[in-house]
Chain A
Amino acid sequence: MDIAQLFHDLVFDYTLRTVAIGAAILGLVSGMLGSFAVLRKQSLLGDAISHAALPGIVLAFLITRDREPVVLMFGALIAGWLATLFMLAVTRTTHIKNDTALGLVLSVFFGFGLMLLTFTQRLPDATQAGLDKFLFGQAATLLQRDVVTMGVIGMVVLGLLVIFWKEFKLVTFDPEFAASLGFPVRALDVLLTTLLVIAIVIGLQTVGVVLMSAMIVAPAAAARQWTDRLGIMILLGGLIGSLAGVGGTLISSSAERLPTGPVIVLVVSVLVLFSMLFATNRGLIWNWIRSRQNSRKLRARAVLADLNTLALQHPDQEHGHSVAVLRAMSPNPDGVSHALQQLSERGHAREVSHEVWALTEEGRSQASQNIKDEKE
């Protein structure tokens, strides 16, 4: 399928359009809230919450006998929230540490959910069919009204982020200082965590309980590579999330039997990998280039200082010195030739005869300037 056709379908194909918009909303909300979760060192909380949502979904169905997504989402929300509160209570009242509590809650809730799911599937009537789709998500089941619901909830979440921006930033960075200023840190904490639960629940139908945590952590991890500003990081996290949502939807629709949720997660993983390698701020490749440039600069500086030392020991300052001597003085003899090349490009040194170098006037003043700088 060619790209033009894909974009044509994106606009005119009802199912594809619905799924793509839904995936974009889910990516946006989870990317933004996920950024806060990652900065609050709660990356794994997302994983626990999404797994813990499963029993909520099945119980909501068992109680109402209704497969309406809104009903199931409500069940997921309550279960996810209870799991979070349970976790906080365990860490506060017992000696059990945070990571242990997370593991405990995740496995207990998810195991219970799987048990309920198996039990439900043995029920004689066929209405329960499709509940197991919540494990890995099934984007094709998204209807327009689901997307509208997601959109409305998403808007509310984003609105709250804007309203409490200053407070959220403060409690994320320095909760103790926030408390000393009189902000209700506990309440803000609960609010922010509740928004995270909502962000997760929004995505469950599309991505599923097993993979949803990737949509929380990955966009944030990718966004962090590009920027050192909280606001930009949050926006970028949302953008990367929705990009992955739409991209994953298009890729999975272009081939038979490609599940949307996992493909979205794969796309976001690729975006993380790309960001880790190529980001201008923290990316590995730029860092490598920067550190290489730095070490070259420092090497040139060291050779300049060595040349200066040699010149000072000699009555005739224009006197040349052999590269062999400079190599002997340098901790890194192999880099000396390249450093001399750099110095001559800058006009700080010149080759008086083959393999014999001397400082220029500029080189001397630069060397004494360097010595002065180092003393400060």
Chain B
Amino acid sequence: MAEKAIEVTDLTIAYRDKPVLWDVDMDVPSGTLMAIVGPNGAGKTTLIKSILGLVKPAAGQVLVLGKPYNEQRHLVGYVPQRGSVDWDFPTSVLDVVMMGRYGALGWLKRPGPSERAAALEALEKLGIRHLAERQISQLSGGQQQRVFLARALVQDAQLYVMDEPFQGVDATTERAIVTLLQELRSAGKTVVVVHHDLQTVPEYFDWVTMLNVRRIASGPVQEVFTEQNLRLTYGGKVAFLSAAGNGKSENL
């Protein structure tokens, strides 16, 4: 765990004059499964987009595996929010998964048999190989999410960044995703996940960052996922929180 997968220092991001992230520091040690939690508008998505160089910071810096993102992008896999694309786009599941290899292919080269094989293997891992030739508009929400995860898997990365992979998926898919995340961690990968369901944080993740424009807390779940930090993160909505924040954290 000596190496840091992500190192965010003094990160400030603003849309026009409204700060979305304010002076955020966050370290993600290699080989951890980290959840990023916080209320709507807390800047969770903005934080991971800035890790991926998709949003330019007003101040501060982000290092990925010790270097700026644009030197390390071949080591990073990205799972955007499922709702960020048009699923009526005329293409097949296999085609979408192969897009994960486009970065490694670079310009001009077309995906060939080895990309196809990698895509099929990833689909197999997510249990949807039989959907390979399916048109993407015919997928359920859970299947769409698995397709996006398969696309990230073929990126064959060291660090995976996922934006709400559990959003609106069925229980079976949720189990499948959790299993996948744990497999990735066992293989020595680092995974950072924007997460919404506070109840499952202690069960699914070992590290957590709690965010509400400012960073409230960041560290191992059993140390920082406390009721007090939850209260700080979510403000007035304490009633909802004391129910959600129980479990291990309350005893600490």
Contacts and interface: CB of A to CB of B under 8 A. Distances in A.
Contact of A173 (B49, B89, B110): B89
Contacts of A182: 70, 73, 103
B90 A179 contact: no
A129 interface: no
B135 A228 contact: yes
Contacts of B96: 173
16 contacts: A163-B108, A166-B110, A167-B102, A172-B89, A173-B91, A174-B85, A176-B49, A176-B54, A180-B52, A180-B73, A180-B76, A181-B73, A182-B70, A224-B90, A228-B137, A230-B89
Interface in B107-122: 107-111
Contact of B99 (A173, A224, A233): A173
A288 interface: no
Contacts of B108: 163
B78 interface: yes
Chain A to chain B: the 10 pairs with minimum beta-carbon distance, closest first: A181-B103, A228-B135, A180-B78, A180-B52, A174-B85, A228-B90, A230-B90, A173-B89, A182-B73, A233-B90
A179 B105 CA distance: 15
Residues of A in contact with B, size category: 20 to 34
Interface string A154-170: 00000000010111011
Interface of A: 39, 41, 163, 165-167, 169-170, 172-174, 176-183, 224, 227-230, 233
Contacts of A174: 80, 84-85, 99
Nearest to A172: B89
Nearest to A181: B103
B37 to A, nearest CB: 22
Given A166-B111, A180-B52, A180-B76, 17 more contacts: A39-B86, A165-B110, A166-B109, A167-B102, A167-B107, A170-B99, A173-B85, A173-B86, A180-B53, A180-B54, A181-B103, A227-B90, A228-B92, A229-B91, A229-B92, A230-B89, A233-B90
Interface residues of B, number: 29
Interface-centre pick from A163, A166, A170, A180 (highest chain B CB count, 10 A): A180
A180 B162 CA distance: 12
Given A227-B90, A230-B91, A176 B84 contact: yes
Contacts of B90: 39, 224, 227-230, 233
B241 to A, nearest CB: 31
B146 to A, nearest CB: 16
A9 to B, nearest CB: 38
B137 A177 contact: no
B89 A39 contact: yes
Nearest to A234: B90
B78 A177 contact: yes
Contacts of B102: 166-167, 170, 178, 181, 183
B15 to A, nearest CB: 12
Interface-centre pick from A170, A177, A227 (highest chain B CB count, 10 A): A177
Contact of A179 (B54, B91, B107, B110): B54
A183 B99 CA distance: 12
Interface string B131-157: 000010100000000000001000000
